[in-house]
Amino acid sequence: MDEKSSTIEFDTTKNLREVEMKDDKSKEATIEKLIEPTVTINIDKPVESSPTLIARFAGIVYILLSAIIFTGSLFISKQLKVDVLDAIIPCYALHSAILIIYSKFIKHYSFYEHSKRQELFYLFINVFFSTTGVFSFYFAYRYLPLPDLITVRYTQVIWTTIITALLYREKPSIPMVIAILLTSAGVVFVAQPSFLFNSTLSKSKTHVERLIGLFIALYSSVALSIMIISNKHLLLKYKTKHSSIMVHYAVVTLIVLVAKVVYSFNIFTDGMESFRNYFFTWNYLFASLVCLLHIVAIVLTQKAVKREHPAIFTIVQSSNILFSLILQNIFSSTKSNLLSIAGSILVLASIVIITGLKYFKEKKQVKQ
């Protein structure tokens, strides 16, 4: 519970797509980011080949189970008419408590005593984009169907690649350009702007809300990409503790979520009755319990990352898009049209290109 989970991996010094830390003895740690249960995943040794067939595919099973839990909890909360931003408050409260107890009372870490001014600045950047990125993701769910939301969220893979390419002034490769074009086309298909598509969706009254949700989700994706870069900078240059980064993120996010509730319901004025009618219901209780399963997803993600190559991990975890499509089109009255499905497929293809190329390059280098 003292680390962040993640979906994306990129190398800012070699190929702009994998965040990793290597020391002189070839130990490496991969820092990735998930929206879902947000914890950091630390790998202190290279991925080893599994001795048996069952063990070999255990990591993939863990990834799929984690994806099902995360996507399913979001979908169930929406069907219960509970705002996910409210349903995840108990999860973040428990997450924050565990991190504080672990960091302060078990490990006895000091958060600020030995911190430099520049380190505090990057820590602020990290916490700001982590918190606003996660908040924006859940907030965008008010305006977008789940498959479209998760599809736009996974453009984070491409945004991370673009940002690191700009920072390190490296020329983009042909696969990177192709992936960017596919992602861009996928986002356009999901948005379906009226000046490009003459569909009933683009003419509907809810199209403006859809575009609002799209831009909020895009901000979430970019913000989480910036978080990854600042995360790596803190870990490499300042040797900041993982738990210190996570405590700040979890506590600040919890404060923002509670503040949103206070503001929305005017608790200190005349909104206490509406507050009780909303939070003290079976719907909210069940939705919050389902979202607590994010903690189980954290454990599964940690186990998966230790067993699978990071590229395989990212590709399999993007199955969130497929699960959301299944849930949306089977159990919801709101169905995805062909353009939205095509957009999801294009984003999936870009993820496979970016991460798959890295995987085969590393395999080739190992053989040599």
What are the pLDDT digits (tens) for 143-169?
Answer: 999 999 999 998 888 888 888 888 878
Q: How far separated are the first and last CA of the chain, in Å rounded?
A: 38
pLDDT at 125 over 60: yes
pLDDT at 28 over 60: no
Alpha-carbon span 42 to 30, nearest angstrom: 6
Alpha-carbon span 315 to 349, nearest angstrom: 9
Per-residue pLDDT tens digits for 1-23: 443 444 333 333 333 334 343 44
Alpha-carbon span 137 to 213, nearest angstrom: 9
What would you measure as the largest C-alpha separation in the chain, in angstroms? 71
pLDDT at 337 over 70: yes
Question: Which pLDDT band holds residue 232 (cuts at 50, 70, 90)?
Answer: confident
> Over pLDDT 90: what percentage of the chain?
30
What's the pTM? 0.79
Per-residue pLDDT tens digits for 107-122: 777 776 667 788 889 9
The CA–CA distances, whole Å, from 292 to 77, 84, 93, 109, 244 equal 12, 12, 10, 27, 22
Question: Which pLDDT band holds residue 54 (cuts at 50, 70, 90)?
Answer: low
Helix (H) or strand (E) holding 28: strand 28-30
Domain parsing of the chain, residue ranges: 20-367
3-class secondary structure, 171: coil
Alpha-carbon span 342 to 348, nearest angstrom: 10
pLDDT given for residue 74 in this prediction:
95
